[in-house]
Amino acid sequence: MKLPDTVYVENILEPYLKDFIFERFRDVVEIQDAVSKDDWKRVKNLGHRILGSSGSYGFVDMGTFGKIIEDIAECKDKETVLHLAGLMEYHLKNVNIVFVAEDDT
Interval 66-85: pLDDT, tens: 999 999 999 999 999 999 99
Kindly state the percentage of the chain with pLDDT values over 90. Answer: 92
- Residue 103: pLDDT above 80? no
Neighbouring residues of 29: CB distance < 8 A, sequence distance ≥ 6: none
How far, in Å, CA of 77 to CA of 83, rounded? 10
| Position 105 pLDDT exceeds 60 | no
Residue 21, pLDDT score: 97
Query: Please, are residues 17 and 57 in contact by the beta-carbon 8 Å criterion?
Result: yes
How does pLDDT run across 34-69, given as a tens digit for each residue? Answer: 999 999 999 999 999 999 999 999 999 999 999 999
Positive or negative CA dihedral for 80, 30, 25, 53? positive
